[in-house]
Amino acid sequence: MPRAKKLLKRKQKKQSAGGSLKKEKHDDKKNKEQVFPDDITKPIPIGHRLWVIPDLKRPDNIDYVSVVERKNNDIPSATPTPLGPPAEKKDVKVHPWRYYIHFVGRDRRMDRWVNYEQLRFTGPDLNIEEHHDNHGFDEQSLKNHEEATKVKNVDAIEIGPHVMETWYFSPFPAEYTKYRKLFFCEFCLSFFGLKSELQRHSKKCTWTHPPGNEIYRSKDQNIEVAMFEVDGGKEIQYTQNICYIAKLFLDHKTLWEDTTPFLFYVLTEVTSRGCCVVGYFSKEKSTELVSHGNNVACILTLPCHQRKGFGKFLISLSYELSKLEGKTGSPEEPISDLGQQAYNSYWKGVILDILADPSHKEITIHQISQMTSMTYKHIEQTLKALDIIQYDSAEGYMISVPNSLIKSHMDKKKRIAADKARKYVRPCDPKKVRWFPHHAKLLHKKARVAAQNN
């Protein structure tokens, strides 16, 4: 009898729980916003999918989007007349919201604010393939990240003569959230909400280059570059500012408020004004103590300086540092789609340069790794992408390179070299690198202190 009572209670509990759950679901359905395509005064629900015309001058160009956020569109209650008092308010229906939209199937850097007039509730079937790349995050972490950074907080930044539209959210201090455009000093990277503040700062700023040791300088095709090693533990403010900038153009990267564990390698263009930042990469100091691992934590070329060879230069220098450390290295994941393209291009170029050399007719993946400091994984991926690795049942995997592929690669290099008017920096020259590992400096310092004490 007692067992029967227990079973009855459990049954009643399940029924009551199921009833409350059904009630909650019913309430959620009731409270969910509805779509009113014919009523211009009603807002479009967040999460709703529809079509957008990005440029009204080109009505045939239409995209499928989802609504991420909305805000009130500031509309004046009456229009002032030239002679004094405002004109009488006309009874005209106006849609009072603007919408932040995400282009379905595309990267979030395309997200933007649009007006109601650009949106359409019906449109063509675009057959868009949605990508669900978690970028190394688990599902809940990715959801939290996208919720916290769903709307970019700064529309544009100005560094020196360059103005760049931003791509993503960056967690600037709260006092800067009221500004849609920020102004950066091109040397110390201090930032301001007003251009007048930057102009006052520029009169006092004495910096002409990043605050670190110069480890590389070369004059290339119509351009001179210099690379500086900046210790995140010594130059905290500078390195935090460069992280703020990087986050505006890199989505799935964690912004470290404590930059102490990192070294920053800042690439600059040498001008008459000084050494102006064009990009950088960072790496953890601790990775120097292992035989393999990440040789890049974060890498960025500013959008205004892309397509000039700076990206490949940064990648090539990171591998040259790995060679000096005597280990293999790879970029930290997740890596952005543009970053992945740059790495794929660099890996293909390096491997084809080796295979084009007649002295390397017979070569193994192990030997390529020793020559380049690339990991086995990335070498194999690149060989497969080039479609030059084949399997033979008798001899196993073999590298077979068609002459047409080598010729195409060499012709491309010649075309770039022949364009004398173009600003272009080649991959770094190992002979011009003046650097030795950070942990070696610490060991040398400890040995010197011990010798002085003795």
Task: Judge contact between 214 and 204, C-beta under 8 A.
Answer: no
A 10 A CB-CB count for 350 gives 21
- Is 288 part of the annotated catalytic residue set? no
By DSSP bridging, strand 162-165 and strand 156-159 are antiparallel
Angle CA(201)–CA(208)–CA(200) in degrees, nearest 5?
10
Segment (H or E) for 268: strand 262-270
d(CA 272, CA 128): 49
A 10 A CB-CB count for 400 gives 9
d(CA 274, CA 62): 45
Task: Judge contact between 382 and 351, C-beta under 8 A.
Answer: yes
Angle CA(433)–CA(437)–CA(439) in degrees, nearest 5?
165
Helical ranges in 223-265 per DSSP H = 236-247
Catalytic residue selected from 332, 333, 362, 395: 332
**Nearest residue to 225 via CA among 313, 108, 333, 93:** 313
* SS3 state of residue 200: helix
Angle CA(55)–CA(59)–CA(61) in degrees, nearest 5?
75
d(CA 66, CA 111): 10
Q: How many residues does the chain have?
A: 454
**Nearest residue to 220 via CA among 419, 425, 432, 414:** 425
d(CA 440, CA 44): 60
**Nearest residue to 304 via CA among 332, 278, 339, 340:** 278
d(CA 429, CA 146): 40
Helical ranges in 283-375 per DSSP H = 310-325, 337-356, 365-372
Q: Which residues are tagged catalytic? A: 332
